[in-house]
Structure 1
């Protein structure tokens, strides 16, 4: 019997001593980020604060061109979600605020409206449109990689919480991709079917050149 107990105790002790390393991979924000995720912080340096994020308490600053603010709790801001396949954010929309057409290449998104009315929708790869006015308590999902948008459809400030199927879902805003760059205007004109005057105007508004 003693010959059996000793190996069992040894294995149990090993598993207990090494469990932290396999339980999570808190992002080491001081190390370079790889294509998939951040490197793991040494377990002895991990604290409870790595698993807590308080940045979504306050309303975001909507005094900007689109009258919208997104406060992200991705792995770069919330190291504890690194490697877990999840993250969250807060969306605030002033009256007439809008989040333009955009995509998240790295993950699907769910919106949970908590205040006001938000018209939200997405386009399928067949260019079919799915959109609806959402009120407090309503939830909508946007499949990964598809163009989608949110608009304040009411007369008061609107807010929502967003969850993502990735700790770093990425984002590409269509308007900025087209007009906030240094791609020559004649190429943008040819690929968007807009006239040159309109292209230059949009580049001027969004900070593009060329």
Structure 2
């Protein structure tokens, strides 16, 4: 029994280690304000770090998330980001934020993934139909209709979406477990890549006529981020 207990403990420790490595590494100092100047910085966690003695309050500040995003585009949504690119003080802290605006009925944040982050979303205004799809082979769809004050979680790396089913503007805020979560919008990546993916490959993968694939590749795929 002692041997079994040791084996279980070893397995749990291994799983915990892998889970810990799946997110941004923990900081080893109070903060590491990102800079682009190699002369005044050191390279840490993907960004150069400003000398802490030169840090100022503005390094940790971003105004304007009260301003609605422009949703007059093909998908009817706009994502306003607050990650390490906009707030240098987020560097090494493993967290970021977005505001998402949706046009009345039909505003869509298209199916996409964040390769480096889990997302937790709260609805501030409107009614959203949201969901995510699990990985192969189940490809199980989890969906929910959200109202103001409701919260929903999208696990790291899984394809997810939000769709405004109300007849007024909708607004949501989301926190992500990475300073730079990244985003891969499925349709944009598959049909809007540069250079284009071979149409023969896509027609076989999606079981579509080759001409339909070429038509999809000729479209302008809007980036709402």
Q: Scaled by the length of structure 1, what TM-score is found?
A: 0.84
Alignment match, 1:119: 129
Task: Check 1:172–1:35 CA distance in 2 against 1; reply closer, same or farther (3 A cut).
Answer: farther
In structure 2, the partner of 1:206 is 220
The structure-2 alpha-carbon separation of the partners of 1:100 and 1:49, relative to structure 1 and needing over 3 Å to count, comes to: same
Q: Which runs of 4 or more aligned residues in structure 1 lie more than 6 Å from their structure 2 counterparts after TM superposition?
A: 32-35
| Alignment equivalent of 2:199, drawn from 181, 185, 197 | 185
Q: Residues 197, 163 of structure 1: CA spacing in aligned structure 2 closer, same or farther, 3 A cutoff?
A: same
Give deviations 1:32-58, integer Å, cap 9, x for gaps.
Answer: 997943121112321101111113121
Q: Offset at 1:168?
A: 0.4
Identify which range, 158-167 or 188-197, moves more after superposition. Answer: 188-197
My pick for the range that moved more, 185-194 or 71-80, is 185-194
Aligned-pair distance for 1:29?
Answer: 3.5
Cα 1:36–1:172, aligned 2, differ >3 Å: closer, same or farther? farther
From 83, 93, 103, the equivalent of 2:113 is: 103
Q: 2: distance between equivalents of 1:53 and 1:44? A: 21
Please list every run of 5 or more consecutive structure 2 residues that lacks an aligned counterpart in the other structure.
1-27
- Of 210, 220, 223, which aligns to 1:196? 210
User: Is contact 1:55-1:73 (8 Å) kept?
Assistant: no
* Structure-1 separation of matches of 2:110 and 2:69: 17
- Mapped partners of 1:61, 1:141: distance in 2: 25
Q: Please tell me whether residue 47 in structure 1 is matched to residue 56 in structure 2.
A: yes
1:55–1:71 CA contact under 8 A, matched in 2: no
Unpaired runs of 5+ in structure 1?
Answer: 1-20
State which of 90, 93, 118 in structure 1 corresponds to 2:99. Answer: 90
Which one of the candidate residues 73, 83, 88 is aligned to 1:64? 73
Distance in 2 separating the partners of 1:51 and 1:30? 18
Output the aligned Cα RMSD: 1.9
Q: Could you say which structure has the larger radius of gyration? A: 1
1:174 paired to 2:181 = no
Q: TM-score, normalised by structure 2?
A: 0.78
Aligned length: 187
Is the CA contact 2:31–2:52 (under 8 Å) kept in the aligned structure 1? no
- Alignment check: 8 A CA contact 1:81 1:167 kept: yes
